[in-house]
Structure 1
Amino acid sequence: MDDDTRWFFPRGDLARHDWQTVVDGEVDGWQHTGLRVGELAGTGARLPAVGVERMIVPLCGDVVVEWSDARGGSGTVELAGRSSVFEGPADVVYLGIDTEARLTGEGRVAVAEAPADQVLDVQVLRAADIPVEIRGSGRSTRQVHNFGTPAGLHAQKLIVCEVVTPAENWSSYPAHKHDESIPGVESRLEEIYYFESAVSRGLDAPEQADPFGLFATYSSPAGRIDVNHFVRTGDVALVPFGYHGPAVAAPGYDLYYLNVMAGPDPERAWLITDDPAHGWVRTQWESQAPDPRLPYLPAAAPKGPRR
């Protein structure tokens, strides 16, 4: 089995039951992170009460989350979504371990997961309160929603964020790694990339347009890996170790990815080491202006009730 087959999955290859995508311990060599992506319709989707902490992220449309936990708590959270992942952040909710949930609504939802053993409270983050970070500059400008990072969310293991890269720009660059435990320098984290791509804002494309981007992962001292792939909506790349990046948005097409990270280190931290051959590129950003196309935000406030 080559690395493209083992660590890269085109849309549909990870389908299970009613989910379009499922990443969990059933994937050979995968331990610390999980992901579910699916369309909500009819009776919706159920999440069992197991030893994983979760974050519910609406990708398209609104989501209602009915939950109950092992301590006897229960409630309903209505998440105002968005028309697409290129329309700014959505409301999100964190559910601690041993929490059962039912998801209903119309549209597509992602559920980020990480095995854990600490019982933490439900946390709701509204779109208006999620910082929209413009990272990099020039052709390395991208938009990051850091709703599930250590600075913005109290969790035991789970780290989640999403990145929007406009057409012709590079993100996850310079290539970097997080596969060694070096206190204060680098942390060990598995990482999931879930991709979506669309015709770039403001362009009138023909019906046969085929939005795509590019993604790469390559070897580090922690292990051999070699993934170089076109990426389209619904594709998933797994990064068990190694340098990863760039994620490149092709001309004419914007690129989105949801990142899910967790690892074995006791401290929940996202600490990275750049590929020493390319890390110097960061210094070039100081003399460049950020891409004026960003931020991508909705034309109007998201619709949907909130509690």
Structure 2
Amino acid sequence: MADLLVKPIGSKGQTIHVTPQSAGWSHVGFDLYQLAPGEMAQANTNDREVCLVLVSGKARIIIEDVDFNILGERMSPFDGKPDSVYVPADHDWMVTATTPVTLAVCSAPSTGGNLPPRHIRPDKVTQETRGTGTNTRYVTNILPETAAADSLLVVEVITPGGHTSSYPPHKHDTDNLPAESQLEETYYHRLNPPQGFAFQRVYTDDRTLDETMLVEDGVVTLVPRGYHPCATVHGYDLYYLNVMAGPKRTWKFHNDPEHEWLLKR
């Protein structure tokens, strides 16, 4: 099994590189780029679809012959909604930073849906509040199952300091629809202020997988299976960008029965 905690390598260029092969699974890929003004990231999607998420900063984004011009409205993932661009299979993409940029490249296998490239505008993404009390968190649906895509599901979440998230613990590792879907998942974590920390546990019912990870600013955690709650400490807000994909593009989860009573309080 792959190490479930992926730390950035360096602070410039491509700092995170998660592939299905490195993660030991079949669907989700995740790359992160840190670009200075004038620097560029580019690739071909090959047999995968991609969602480019401007975590922070402004950049010019070009997909084949479609120039989306300069996108980006926020300088921090804790400030407003993101600009994102959907890129179908077998397309070249190019992102050129005009300010310091943090770019997430979320990918999953294409099923040949032949969708066109499109700008996912900040004013078109939906937001919702989940949970109550110290389980309250704020969700931005970048590429939910109601939006057109082949495999990808992309969402970001802000969890206030001292709160829990992805909680009560839930899992989506079994192809048992309509009760539960099988989805791999990555979490890209940021903290505000950045010297803070949080924790994430990934565990299964039989505890054959049971890992608790220290989450610091900029790390990625992998969820191949099992429940995966996280919690951030007092004074430090937690942002995470989730990428999910599996055999069927739907998010149906199963709560840990031991903790489901919390939903009935």
TM-score when normalising by structure 2:
0.92
Question: Which residue is 1:50 aligned to?
Answer: 46
Distance 2:39 2:224 in 1: 35
1:119-163 CA-to-partner distances (Å, cap 9, x unmatched) read: 211122211221121111110100000121112x20010000000
Q: Verify: 1:79 aligned to 2:64, yes or no.
A: no
**Which of 3, 10, 19 is equivalent to 1:6?**
3
**Which of 67, 81, 87 is equivalent to 1:95?**
87
1:238-286 CA-to-partner distances (Å, cap 9, x unmatched) read: 11111111x1111110101110000123xx10000000001121222xx
After TM superposition, the structure 1 = structure 2 runs for residues 118-137 of structure 1, keeping only pairs within 5 Å, are 118=112, 119-137=114-132
1:38-77 CA-to-partner distances (Å, cap 9, x unmatched) read: 1123341012241111111111101221111xxxxx2111
> Residues 22 and 218 (structure 1 numbering): CA distance in 2 closer, same or farther, change over 3 Å?
same
Distance 1:108 1:47 in 2: 16
Distance 2:159 2:133 in 1: 12
**Which of 226, 244, 247 is equivalent to 1:242?**
226
Q: 1:220 Cα shift?
A: 3.4
Do 1:11 and 1:233's aligned partners in 2 also have CA atoms closer than 8 Å?
Answer: no
Q: Verify: 1:19 aligned to 2:2, yes or no.
A: no
Distance 2:162 2:121 in 1: 30
Question: Which residue is 2:250 aligned to?
Answer: 269
After TM superposition, the structure 1 = structure 2 runs for residues 130-145 of structure 1, keeping only pairs within 5 Å, are 130-145=125-140
Q: 1:26 Cα shift?
A: 3.2
Question: Which residue is 1:157 aligned to?
Answer: 151
Distance 2:103 2:78 in 1: 14
Distance 2:223 2:11 in 1: 21
Distance 1:83 1:18 in 2: 18
**Which of 204, 226, 231 is equivalent to 1:219?**
204
Specify the SS of the correspondent of 1:257.
Answer: strand
Q: 1:16 Cα shift?
A: 11
Q: 1:17 Cα shift?
A: 9.6
Distance 1:18 1:229 in 2: 25
Distance 2:116 2:221 in 1: 30
Distance 2:221 2:115 in 1: 29
Instruction: Give the unaligned 5+ runs of structure 1.
Output: 69-73, 200-208, 285-307
Distance 2:236 2:11 in 1: 29
Aligned residues, how many?
A: 260
Counterpart code for 2:153? I
Q: Verify: 1:114 aligned to 2:114, yes or no.
A: no
Instruction: Give the unaligned 5+ runs of structure 2.
Output: none
1:82-126 CA-to-partner distances (Å, cap 9, x unmatched) read: 121111211211111111111111311111110113121112221
Distance 2:195 2:119 in 1: 35
Do 1:160 and 1:259's aligned partners in 2 also have CA atoms closer than 8 Å?
Answer: yes
Q: Verify: 1:260 aligned to 2:264, yes or no.
A: no
Distance 1:28 1:87 in 2: 30
Bigger fraction of residues in strand: 2
Do 1:59 and 1:81's aligned partners in 2 also have CA atoms closer than 8 Å?
Answer: no
Counterpart code for 1:215? Q
Do 1:63 and 1:81's aligned partners in 2 also have CA atoms closer than 8 Å?
Answer: no
Specify the SS of the correspondent of 1:243.
Answer: coil
TM-score when normalising by structure 1:
0.80
